[in-house]
Amino acid sequence: MLLTNRVIVLGIIALTSWTSGFGQDVDILNSNNLKNLFNSLGHESYEVRQKTQNLILDQGKINKDLVLNESFEFYIKTKDPEVKYRLRSSMLEIIGGNLKPEGFIGIRMVDAPMRINNDGEIENIRAVRILSVVPNTAASKAGLRPGDQITRLDGEKFPNQGLAYVELSKYIRAKSSGENVKLSVTRGFGVNMKKMDIDIKLGERPEGLGSNRKVEAFNEWFQKNLEKNEKKLSDNLKSP
């Protein structure tokens, strides 16, 4: 027991000594220093492994791209399952931490296909009718009203298949809060119908950033890097 505690203490001292020369805004951000840091993820002491992972996350806030790229390179080379697990979870957190919350308008809506007079021609179009507007949201600030019918998103019609309100929801959630979206809206009926384009600055979804979006963003990034690595290996094999 005493020997185990001594190993743990020595491991933490070694890690602390290695980083003690750096300030909080540290620059341990070069390839060799990061590799030394990654190696400590496989230390026999849980405390050392955890301290190392926290330090990697801190460095990811300073230089996201460098830490992610070096982490991925180390990940595909190491055989240590503990190191792989901790590097993967660190990369997920770094990528997730740089995502903005999903966009949010603030309306209740329903699918509402329309027939409109388009310069003398009757046109059947897909549309979304607003049932209610949530106070103090992007929709209310932009002046959207219950009964308004949304016919286009950023100038594009809704697809002919599927539910228009589902497409609208997916489109908005794929955006980040703070982004702008242009909605083509019809208001009123018959001779009183008005057509207008309304620019909306998206708000933040009340539930914040969902874990699924983090995972999706990580998986997309990870897959792209795997493909780049495979191409690199293939090109190297082809070289004379």
Domain end (from 51, 78, 99)? 99
Is the torsion defined by CA of 108, 213, 29, 26 positive or negative?
A: positive
Q: Is the same domain home to 169 and 119?
A: yes
Does the residue 149 lie in any domain? yes
Query: DSSP letter at 99?
Result: P
Instruction: Give residue for tokens 């990034």.
Output: 221
Main-chain dihedrals φ then ψ at residue 166, nearest 5 degrees: -70, -40
Cβ partners under 8 Å of residue 25, min gap 6: 62
Name 184's bridge partners: 152, 197
Cβ partners under 8 Å of residue 40, min gap 6: 11, 15, 48, 49, 52
Q: For residue 191, what are the domain limits?
A: 103-204
CB–CB of 109/128 below 8 Å? yes
Structure tokens at 116: 């409109």
Q: Is the same domain home to 120 and 95?
A: no
Q: Is the same domain home to 114 and 187?
A: yes
pLDDT tens, the chain, 240 aa long: 444 444 443 444 445 444 444 444 445 556 678 888 898 999 899 999 999 999 999 999 989 999 999 999 999 999 999 999 999 999 999 998 878 778 899 999 999 887 666 666 666 778 999 999 999 999 999 999 999 999 999 999 988 778 899 999 989 988 888 999 999 999 988 778 899 999 999 998 876 545 577 888 899 999 999 999 888 877 777 666
Is the torsion defined by CA of 152, 155, 160, 165 positive or negative?
A: negative
Q: Is 240 helix (H, G, I), strand (E, B) or coil?
A: coil
Does the residue 211 lie in any domain? no
Q: Is the same domain home to 74 and 110?
A: no
Can you say how many angstroms the Cα of residue 57 is from the centroid of all Cα atoms in its chain? 17
Does the residue 230 lie in any domain? no
Q: Is the same domain home to 75 and 116?
A: no
- Number of separate domains in the chain: 2
